[in-house]
Structure 1
């Protein structure tokens, strides 16, 4: 399978008059002025100069705002540029994101005319209370109808969900995942809520009317959502905002609600849980902690060695962010010596162990 490369075109807040409580697009996208059509061509050329000839699946992706909310003629201008490169075979896909309530037949006909491939919907939640408290401006029924139309037109569908919005809970987040699975997108993004200054959410946080998820609850919830989507063959494009998506100078975000490597935290948690489940299943009383320590004191018997295995790209997840998994196992299971090794015969994000 080819690796993907994204050429991002940001259209900050353009096409979206709504003011969701969590949103300040000027802080989410580092480029504040929307691209003009001629700038798009220059940006694509700049990226292609380094991407061509590397065997990559290259996508031009319109992010940052609600693409289908901008005037139709402007959509045409942007898409004309992208389609030119697609027709020449220099890019493979055209990709955009928008709101669920900015989808209709006229828009889909236009996107089909310009051979758009992927449409992502910023759904955030399927819970009516969370949508209302977040000032989303649409109901969950709009999500269902827009998704049905997108799939019926033959586009690839992505669903974006947020975790920890006002009125949210673990149960509501998992219910949103279940609804996502029923719709049947091929792609998803998970965004733990980050409190940005100059937003309504920041004001609510200061007043005490909004309490963010704790770090532990956010990790637990996102991990379970990730695992559920993965089990249903939905590709998870992103977990959390990249540091480059934010302007963080001068304290523009509440740092306690943001982690720059949140996806690794989630994937590391999954690795830890999978390995611990295998470890406990393999023990079955053979390696009783007290028995091993007693034998060691009596006759100097060495500790059994547990070797954890994965392929190369999953190794950092197996170790865990800042070695948290390694530290976890060594502290919880002192009767063993742990080794972490690469086995290229294993598929990505699959973990095995051996005990000697």
Structure 2
């Protein structure tokens, strides 16, 4: 919803399993339904995801945000979170969002390499990402960065450089998604013509693991790894190719644990006095 561009990898309807976005009039029914399933002492956010919120018409943004205000005022909901593009952030937009209680903005950055951004038809450049990120933080709004690995023109060195640049932005959270070839996208055309090769599952897990370790070592939360395995994504024809796994994040965490155990076992073998047992 909202995004006016056709990025090479994107088919938002299939990724989000949503044919049409709910309107402002639908918000109350949706929120009430979910509030009934959440313990009242939980920290509750209302999130506008599945597109670029700040790219939709300003009046429509206000209608969506206004529909949430009763829940903020009565304390049922703590804050609002939304996702958008770096090139649809400016001080006027942030003033509006702050006024309506938005506390977290996640930017769909994807890469901090200009060549990769260009080949992915992202329109903006790395400087735009830095400007938008600094502006968001200047409004005391939490910053989330969404990254993708394995995009056209990407390579491991670019991914690690993107991680390094991301850390310099000091985001509050990061998501890492391996690129998938989704049906009815421009990337599918490139793949079918042999002009694009996705990462293997092992490559995607290993690269994500290195980025994950880099982020947590710098006190940045990694709140998701891999796309949510919706019914649409798990259907037989949605993912044409690429490292899709319904528990991708767990695969990454398993590799981290495996590496830690191997490291400790080497210490046990080298050091005197450790005995023959290792407790974890």
TM-score range for the pair, normalised by the shorter chain length = over 0.9
> How far off its partner does 1:119 sit?
0.3
1:177 to 163, 167, 171: 163
1:235 is aligned to 221
Does residue 160 of structure 1 match 2:143?
Answer: no
**2:97 aligns to what?**
111
Instruction: Say yes or no: does 1:124 pair with 2:88.
Output: no
- Structure 2 CA distance, aligned partners of 1:251 and 1:20? 20
Tell me how far apart the structure 2 counterparts of residues 210 and 255 of structure 1 sit (CA, whole Å): 11
In the alignment, which residue of structure 1 is the partner of 2:239? 253
1:67 touches 1:96 (CA, 8 Å); kept in 2? Answer: yes
Deviation at 1:108, TM superposition (A): 0.5
Residue matched to 1:48: 35
Name the residue aligned to 1:58: 44
2:189 maps to what in 1?
Answer: 203
Matched with 2:60 is 74
Within the candidate set 16, 26, 31, 2:18 is matched to 31
Q: CA deviation at 1:255?
A: 5.3
Q: Which one scores higher on RCO, CA 8 angstroms, separation ≥ 6?
A: 2
**C-alpha distance in structure 2 between counterparts of 1:170 and 1:246, whole Å:** 29
Deviation at 1:251, TM superposition (A): 1.1
Shift of residue 83, structure 1, vs aligned partner: 2.3
- Summarize the alignment of residues 261-300 of structure 1 with structure 2, pairs less than 5 Å apart: 261-284=247-270
The aligned residue for residue 297 of structure 1 is: none
Residue 254 of structure 1, CA deviation: 2.4
Matches of 1:278 and 1:267, distance apart in 2: 17
CA distance in 1, matches of 2:197, 2:27: 40
Q: Residues 112, 173 of structure 1: CA spacing in aligned structure 2 closer, same or farther, 3 A cutoff? A: same
Q: 2:204 aligns with which of 197, 209, 218?
A: 218
**TM-score normalised to structure 1 length:** 0.76
Q: Quick one: distance in 2 between partners of 1:46 and 1:152?
A: 35
Who is 1:148 aligned against?
134
Is the contact made by 1:59 and 1:92 (CA closer than 8 Å) also made in structure 2? yes
- Structure 1 residue 306: deviation in Å? 4.3
Deviation at 1:171, TM superposition (A): 0.6
Residue by residue, what CA displacement relative to the aligned partner does 1:182-219 show, whole Å, maximum 9, x if unpaired? 01101110001111010011111111110111222211
The offset of 1:124, in angstroms, is: 0.2
Q: Secondary structure at the match of 1:96?
A: strand
| Pair 1:19-2:6 in alignment | yes
CA contact under 8 A between 2:201 and 2:244: conserved in structure 1?
no
**How many angstroms does 1:246 deviate by?**
3.7
Deviations 1:115-136 (A, max 9, x none): 1000000000011110011000
Q: Tell me if the contact between 2:72 and 2:79 (Cα under 8 Å) persists in the aligned partners.
A: yes
Cα separation, 2, equivalents of 1:70 and 1:220: 37
Relative to structure 1, the CA distance from residue 308 to residue 272 in structure 2 (aligned partners, 3 Å threshold; closer, same or farther) is farther
The structure having more radius of gyration, on CA atoms, is 1
Query: What is the CA-CA distance between 1:256 and the residue it aligns to?
Result: 4.6
Partner of 2:123: 137
Match of 1:101 in 2: 87
Structure 2-normalised TM-score?
0.95
SS at match of 2:132: helix
* Matched residue, 1:295: none
Query: 1:275–1:308: 8 Å Cα contact kept in structure 2?
Result: no
1:33 and 1:251 map into 2 onto residues whose CA distance is 20
